[in-house]
Amino acid sequence: MSAPPNTCKEVLSHISGYLDGELDATACDAIDRHCLECASCAALVNGLRETVGLCRQAATAPLPDAVRQRARESVRRLLDRQGKES
């Protein structure tokens, strides 16, 4: 990467890479330092971190039992029907 992000604009353009762990240590340190002095960028980073966290929580939420049950029943019906036909 070129020069580490220092201004608010540069931090904003690198923020997704920062959250996804795609930036090198120098760039991450620069963003951390900037956020210590810039309350609005710090709030943005924290807000986006919470947003990503909320999405990832949804990823681990199991589907409703009724939906899983319906899916399993459809699968068994299909496989039983195919088994009889072959």
Partner 1 sequence: MSSADVKAEYAGLVKAAATGDRGAMEALLVRAQEVAYRFSLLVCGHPEDAEDVMQDALIKTYQHVATITEPEAFRTWLYSTVRNACLMKRRRRVGEPSNFVSVERGIETSEGTVHVDVADPSRAIDQRLIDGWVDGRLRQALKRLPPSYRMIVVMREIEGLSTKDVAAVAGVSEANVKTRLHRARLMLRKQLEHV
Site residues (CB under 8 A) for partner 1, limited to 8-47: 15-16, 19, 44, 47
Residue 31: name the closest of 45, 50, 47, 51 by CA: 45
Q: Is 21 left (phi over 0), alpha (psi -120 to 50) or beta?
A: left
* Whole-angstrom distance, CA of residue 65 vs CA of residue 67: 5
Q: Which of 3, 58, 84, 85 binds partner 1 (CB under 8 A)?
A: 58
* Whole-angstrom distance, CA of residue 21 vs CA of residue 7: 20
Choices 2-10, 31-39, 63-71 (CB under 8 A): range interacting with partner 1 = 63-71
Helices and strands: H and E segment counts in the chain: 4, 0
The CB-of-50 to partner 1 minimum distance in angstroms stands at 8
* Residue 1 near partner 1 by CB under 8 A: no
* Chain contacts with partner 1 (rule: CB under 8 A): 15-16, 19, 44, 47-48, 50-52, 54-59, 61, 63-64, 66-68, 70-72, 74-76, 78-79, 82
